[in-house]
A and B are shown apart, each in its own frame.
Chain A
Amino acid sequence: MYSLPQRANTLFAFFISVLFCVLGAVALSGPVLLLATHAGGRDAGVPVISVEKMAVKLGRRGHYYDYTQPMTELAFIHFNMVADLTPYWTWNTKQLFVYVVAEYATPTHPTNQIVIYDDIITSKDDANIDLRNQLSEYIASDMSHKLAGINATLSLHWNTMPHVGILMTDRKGSTPLVFPKPTK
């Protein structure tokens, strides 16, 4: 009746159920610890973002040597940012995906969001961000091919990616900027 394979099977089934219970608890711990941070008043302050210098130049987007695309105003932004995301780092955090977003409105498109810089943070020590005169990683441009004179805001977004569990996104800060006239 109680043969060796049968015992092994029972043991394995029990192990699997325990494993899934533990994983479930770990998955829950992410949001719960985040709520505890908010409730305990241990939130990080608002990140300080400031624009160092900006330039708008004319160029083409899309495939290389695709001259069917029209000339587009491309914005290059140098910015400073001081932000401390260490309070949001828990033991279930695999990485923080941090990105700076420029947001603006045009008459034809009421909301436009462009990521100008991103960073993948894989340890708590790196979650204290201090960027000086950082050039934007991605060139900002609009669908209307015009950017000059548009009022935009810069804000810091971050995406918490857990070892096990759901993804969580949050944002903070708002720094105004105006895109300048294009230069050569």
Chain B
Amino acid sequence: MDGLKSLSRLSFRQLAQQTLNFCLIVSSALMIWKGLSVVTNSESPIVVVLSESMEPAFARGDLLFLTLPSAPVNIGDICVFKVEGKSVPIVHRVLEIHTSTNNTQFMLTKGDNNPVDDRGLYNQGQMWIRQEDVVGKVQG
């Protein structure tokens, strides 16, 4: 309430300046985020780990820095991918890669801490993840 009272004491000019200042902070934060997206070519350059499937490499709540390189994925890379029709991205290591003659990559992934590969997480009958499904590659 005190804050509101002091706000009402301000002149219109001061009020406008406060508002503009606030907008500037919000927009610069958004610009940094979007700028990072452009540089890393990834729709979300920083992600939070949600599960313990990659222990002891990543614990819950760890922040990961991602890029989406145009180069093909390498074996053993930790990729973030989305299974078609499911919204939650998954951070797991690439276990198998089969590259066809037209450079399409078929990948199988597995969490370091999981006993089996990810076919149980994919859609029913889906055997491979394609390069289009990959959202980013973990850099550190």
A-side residues, CB < 8 A to B, are 27, 61-63, 66, 68-69, 94-95, 97, 99, 101, 108-115, 118, 120, 122, 138, 142-143, 157, 159, 161-162, 164-167, 169
Note all chain A residues with C-beta closer than 8 A to B117: 138
Do most interface residues of chain B lie in helix, strand or loop, or is the interface mixed?
loop
Most A-side CB within 10 Å, residue of B76, B95, B99, B112: B76
Say yes or no: B99 contacts A110, CB within 8 Å: yes
Is A113 a contact partner of B96 (Cβ separation < 8 A)? yes
Some 11 contacts from A to B, beta carbons below 8 A apart, are A63-B120, A97-B57, A99-B75, A99-B76, A110-B100, A112-B98, A112-B99, A115-B76, A120-B57, A166-B140, A167-B140
CB of B125, distance to nearest CB on chain A (Å) = 7
Counting from the closest, the 8 A-B pairs by CB-CB distance are A166-B140, A113-B75, A111-B99, A113-B97, A112-B98, A109-B98, A115-B95, A114-B96
**Complex-state Cα separation, A94 to B112, whole angstroms:** 15
Residues of B within 8 A of A (CB): 56-57, 74-78, 93, 95-101, 106, 112, 117, 119-120, 124-125, 127-128, 138-140
A115 and B96 in contact (CB under 8 A), knowing A63-B119, A99-B76?
yes
**In whole angstroms, what is the CA distance A165 to B138 when docked?**
11
- Asked whether B98 lies within 8 Å of A143 as measured between CB atoms, the reply is yes
CA distance A159 to B93 in the complex (A): 11
Given A95-B57, A161-B57: A62 touches B125 (CB 8 Å cut-off): yes
B35 CB to closest chain A CB, in angstroms? 19
Least CB separation from B113: chain A residue: A120
A62→B76 contact, CB < 8 A: no
Per the bound structure, the CA–CA distance linking A142 and B76 in Å amounts to 18
- The answer to whether B125 and A66 have CB atoms under 8 Å apart is yes
Chain A residue at smallest Cβ distance from B95: A115
Q: A165 with B140: in contact, given A68-B125, A97-B112, A115-B96 (CB under 8 Å)? A: yes
